[in-house]
Structure 1
């Protein structure tokens, strides 16, 4: 477990938790998001540094730093979320809503499980981030690619992923390394893996809201592991 002091709280950095604690932690985070979203607010910058552990024993957390937050009725900024936790619809320049926070929370949960900071993002290229997301989660729906105003920055007209190599001044195709959450998450509990997959649904229309995610069976207490 690694925590950093922030005034009278502990800020979550790489925080290796038991599954029992994870279910409580995620439940509190989703409840916080449900409250924010109920006010019509999108956090827009959810990441471990913005989650404070108020009480480790009681699994109580606080979400902080609403400096990037906005109302869903606002004219939404196209550049939101820290890149490691940026939802696919934001990367592609699609309209977004409160479900981008759910994506960020799914990324955070994957980090907590693996201890790997920036589970998806490992360099400065948004195209490489997309490649990793596609390789681990799934292909991006054609409808999203067609409607995204920034799709052309990362995909050819035939929807081949590419990036511009600044050193050679050439375009390079990116071949996604196919893997899965089951392979990447170091545990055999299918209920937990399904829950993370639930939050990291590529298509925002299919991704649950915070309120819907709170009803997922994995969050029920007491925790009972589900074998694959």
Structure 2
């Protein structure tokens, strides 16, 4: 007798253009695939709106993680009925042909893809100071809202900020799949590495301030087109942070559960060579944010430095960051 779980590997969902899913969603375009889902554009025959339908791959772990994200999106959307806080809207979800389908608002490119396209196409630079200011305010309002609900995003990066309108420079924060409540037992492995806060790397307790660190990294990257803390390991990431921002507080090193993985007892940064198994000391190359952000004005550089305080106790909350003078600097209005 063949036992079935509903999560058989060969159960692929074949996307057919112009087909209608569940008698309601008319498939108009294939948008692409990610690690555990495919995305399509569809026309909702009930509301007349164009939507994004995410088809979750037929795997129990992906299914469970997606259900967790649905719960969080429902919770977040319920507390933002007027859609004021720049978080993705969830419209519908259902089980269809042995797949979980999630229907949400249709957005445009993510900031990573769009920045790459903007640079490679040789067109007018999109991420000007006025637009960076606008994107920052929207992201901070989204974080302020999430944090007020006790949520930490835990994976803020350019790929998780999507454009809603190019002309009006409107963005939305997506992907609550890694998010957690501050009261949860916090996982030690969070955030994509280039956007990971020092307290997470060192194995210290962390809170919503890790999202602020990530936003600082993102803004520097949008300004220059390059990842601020380029790295190929947590140790080389720490070397970049120390070289660009400054030393890590002795108190943080003393309390970090994982400090020993990167620092000797004399606080020398090191990495173990995988091939020879020998310890190699890393000497951070001294530079500065001013040097790394030549296109940024002084107000912008001060603001990014404010977000990238190595010690989370000195780093601003989203509410405090919104009061920084750079965010009220009167740039020319964004032309739509």
**TM-score, normalised relative to structure 2:** 0.63
2:229 counterpart of 1:120: yes
Per-residue CA deviations over 1:76-127 (Å, capped at 9, x if unaligned) read: 00000000100000000000000000000000001001101x320332x110
User: What is the CA–CA distance in structure 2 between the aligned matches of 1:189 and 1:221, rounded to whole Å?
Assistant: 11
Question: 1 or 2 for the larger relative contact order (CA 8 Å, sep ≥6)?
Answer: 1
Number of residue pairs aligned between Structure 1 and Structure 2: 219
Match of 2:188 in 1: 78
Structure 1: which 4+ aligned runs deviate by more than 6 Å?
A: none
**Please, which moves more after superposition, 6-15 or 52-61?**
6-15
Helix, strand or coil: the match of 2:140? Answer: helix
The unaligned stretches of length 5 or more in structure 2 are 1-30, 33-38, 40-51, 53-105, 116-125
The verdict on how the C-alpha distance between 1:188 and 1:71 changes in structure 2, with shifts beyond 3 A counting, is closer
Contact 2:162–2:172 (Cα < 8 Å) also in 1: yes
Structure-to-structure mapping, 1:186-205, within 5 angstroms: 186-187=294-295, 189-205=297-313
Contact 2:224–2:295 (Cα < 8 Å) also in 1: no
Match of 2:205 in 1: 95
Match of 1:152 in 2: 260
Query: Of 208, 229, 242, which aligns to 1:134?
Result: 242
Per-residue CA deviations over 1:160-186 (Å, capped at 9, x if unaligned) read: 000000111100100000000000102
User: What is the CA–CA distance in structure 1 between the aligned matches of 2:201 and 2:301, rounded to whole Å?
Assistant: 24
Per-residue CA deviations over 1:182-214 (Å, capped at 9, x if unaligned) read: 001022611110000001010000000011000
Match of 1:9 in 2: 107
**TM-score, normalised relative to structure 1:** 0.92
Deviation at 1:221, TM superposition (A): 4.9
Query: Of 134, 149, 165, which aligns to 1:24?
Result: 134
User: What is the CA–CA distance in structure 2 between the aligned matches of 1:84 and 1:74, rounded to whole Å?
Assistant: 24
User: What is the CA–CA distance in structure 2 between the aligned matches of 1:121 and 1:193, rounded to whole Å?
Assistant: 18
Contact 1:42–1:71 (Cα < 8 Å) also in 2: yes
Helix, strand or coil: the match of 1:9? Answer: coil
Contact 1:83–1:121 (Cα < 8 Å) also in 2: no
2:160 counterpart of 1:50: yes
Match of 2:9 in 1: none
Deviation at 1:222, TM superposition (A): 2.2
Structure-to-structure mapping, 1:169-180, within 5 angstroms: 169-180=277-288
More strand by share: 2
User: What is the CA–CA distance in structure 1 between the aligned matches of 2:129 and 2:268, rounded to whole Å?
Assistant: 38
User: What is the CA–CA distance in structure 2 between the aligned matches of 1:80 and 1:122, rounded to whole Å?
Assistant: 17
